[in-house]
Amino acid sequence: MSQSESTLTSASAPLATRPRRNLFKEVSAAIEGYLYLSPTLIGLILFVFWPIVASFTLSLQRISPFGNRTRFVGLENYIRTLTSPDYWETVRVTLLFVLGTVPTGLILAVALAIALAYPLGRIDPLYRTLIFVPVVISSAVTGVLFKWLFHPVVGYINYWMLQLGLIESMQEGPNWFADRTWALVAVIVATTWRQLGFNVIVALAGVQNIDESYYDAAKVDGANAWQRIRHITLPLLSPTLFFLLIINIIYSFQAFGEIDVLTQGGPGRSTTTMVYAIYRIAFVDARDRGLASSQAYLLALMVMLMSYIQFVTVSRRVHYQ
């Protein structure tokens, strides 16, 4: 064998074994990666994916109150839901609840974020912590707090209405949890307050991320404070507002703790949202988990549909830097 042939053979030998070595390394790296991900994957399978499949299976069945007997009924639960006046009443209440909490929360968050954007020296961490405290508090604690504040006799809300001259005596103030209109308002206020801290912190981060050169140029052009907010702050804050809009709508559709503690869905069904109706059907009144599962799937579809509509419509007005 000539020297050139031996050189070619020795050079081609590693090429024959290289694919096997690379394949072994790739498989080993993939296995190692899945082992690192396995705790999260197991948690997702047990607590997210499996409940989704199980809930859909339940929605196609009629289940006895104690769960010992089941019968496959197909789409009957969905038909019963969509033809029920009570269900459409809960949809109406839910939409009113969302319309009351989301715009109010976003407007207050933007106003507070702009007001707090100016540096306050050493007390910066203090006021940010105070604003974020409601987010840390559980919804049950929030419900108990506002149940005391809205008390018609000893509550601070009616007391300050009396001090401002809006009512002549505490007895003439609104009976917040016994009136169909005021009960929904009370729940909206409590839910908005609890979510406000998160909204303000996120909006404040967005405001402080805007380059000061835009404001300096606007001042040179003679723009006043409102013009700077309207033409600079709000357009450049639109990605943050779009994110908050999606998050707040999803949160409002899922609100439960404040409603359960404050009104238990009453008086009547005036504060019974879709989530709270699902809870009552599954565990309190009818104990029909099949019907409750069908309503849960309809709620999920409604949330996804609204999110899609927002991405199609609102995202066109989002200005990225």
pLDDT, residue 299, reads 93
pLDDT, residue 167, reads 83
pLDDT, residue 85, reads 93
* Alpha carbons 37 and 45: distance in angstroms, whole number: 12
Give me the torsion for CA of 163, 169, 171, 172, rounded to 10°: -90
pLDDT, residue 32, reads 86
* Alpha carbons 277 and 265: distance in angstroms, whole number: 8
pTM for the structure as a whole: 0.83
Location of structure tokens 């809960």: 90
- In order along its 321 residues, the chain shows pLDDT tens digits of 444 455 444 444 444 444 555 877 888 888 888 899 899 999 999 998 998 898 899 889 888 777 677 888 889 999 999 999 999 999 999 999 999 999 999 999 999 888 887 765 555 677 777 888 888 888 888 999 999 999 888 888 888 988 888 888 777 788 888 888 899 999 999 999 999 989 998 998 888 888 888 888 988 888 888 888 888 888 889 889 999 999 999 999 989 999 999 999 988 889 999 999 999 998 887 778 889 999 999 999 999 998 888 888 876 666 665
Report DSSP state, residue 289. Answer: H
pLDDT, residue 123, reads 55
